[in-house]
Amino acid sequence: MPINALSNRISTVFSTMLKSVGKQMDHRRLTNYIITINQKESTEEILSELSHCLKDILNYRLFAFVIQQKSNVNIWLDPRIYKQSLEELVIKDFNIKDRTNINYLNYTFSPEETENKEEEKKFSMENLSSYEINEDDYFARVYMITKKGMLDFHDDEIDMILRTTQTAISRQIDMKKLSDAASIDPLTQCYNRREFETQLKRSVSNALRHKKELSVFMFDLDHFKNINDTYGHQAGDLVLQRVSALVRDDMRTGDILARYGGEEFIAILPETNKQKAMELANRIRGDIASRRIKVDGEEIRVTASFGVADLGRSSDINKLVHDADAMMYKAKLNGRNTVMPGLIKVCPSVDSKQKVKS
């Protein structure tokens, strides 16, 4: 046999052996990752483990995960990817009509990526691979650029990884639905008071840990008893439903709205200073006042009084809620259908024990 032919044959045999060994090593690691992914309890933890798995097996260069639930699209993005390059692709792949529905979330990257963080870069579409996950409750895609060549068995491994991720995310969504059912006010579909307290503790803890601003606003529907007395309790329930839906539409994705009791609501505004919270509250106040709610041929007009407070230097959760409640009380004394502290109006000091009818 000629030397060249023998050399080629030996190279082919060794190449096949190396692929087989690599495949066995990958499968051992893959099994461990599959077990770990299935043990995660949140979408962030699942995606973090998914990114580590793909990094370990495929040594990807850039990575992004996009998930769409109803109209909202959340993107976990490698900070080195040029946002505009990916966003245009996501808009096309997910048929997005409104860019405001796109939310960029924190991407958990490995320590070596943090240390060697490259500048944000554009990437060639020719080098980009994408894989989709399609479920009844959500649609998702993984976008990836790999450093090393893809072998035939890598497609099977990616399929196994994504099937595992799909199962884990679907289970997490189902668990969240069950949890939400116990924490949601059935009439308004806002969080109930108990869940609000849990969310507020978590939000305050995050704000203090990351040195971020945090504000809340509380509002109460003015003269709500008159609506029940004049139009009936069913009409009152409809007003609560319509107003709470309006407020949720005006708030950002990360904001939290809860029914605090009766016709009182309270909102948590992460990464928002007091001035911005007052501006948001005033905009919502105006939207509520301009809305006409039709009930059995009648048009009901409703207004709301808002109180705003911020975390400031204090970590006292009870004081934060108390301050918002006190400001809402002043808003009622200041003529209702207003926000306190106000951007223009100044409310005189009042006796906190004085009672005001809602």
Q: Is residue 205 predicted with pLDDT exceeding 80? A: yes
| Residue 141 neighbours by CB distance under 10 Å | 20
Q: What is the C-alpha to C-alpha distance for residues 329 and 340, in angstroms, rounded to an integer?
A: 9
Q: Is residue 344 predicted with pLDDT exceeding 60? A: no
Q: What is the pLDDT of residues 287-307, one digit of tens each?
A: 999 999 998 888 999 999 999
| Fold of the domain spanning 15-183 | Beta-Lactamase (3.30.450)
- The full set of domain ranges for the chain reads 15-183, 193-340
Between these two residues, 26 and 155, which has the higher pLDDT value? 155
| pTM of this prediction exceeds 0.75 | no
Q: What is the pLDDT of residues 103-160, one digit of tens each?
A: 887 665 544 454 455 556 677 777 788 888 888 888 999 988 876 566 566 677 888 8
Amino acid 242: pLDDT:
95
DSSP annotation of 348: P
What residues are annotated to the active site? 263
Going from the C-alpha of 191 to that of each of 132, 183, 239, 268, the distances in angstroms are 32, 6, 17, 11
Helix then strand count (H, E) for the chain reads: 10, 12
User: Under CATH, which architecture does the 193-340 domain have?
Assistant: 2-Layer Sandwich (3.30)
Strand duo 102-105 + 72-77: pairing = parallel
Amino acid 302: pLDDT:
95
Q: What is the C-alpha to C-alpha distance for residues 259 and 44, in angstroms, rounded to an integer?
A: 27
**Average confidence score pLDDT of the chain:** 82
Going from the C-alpha of 194 to that of each of 190, 202, 220, 237, 315, the distances in angstroms are 12, 13, 18, 21, 19
Q: Both ends of the chain: CA-CA distance in Å? A: 100
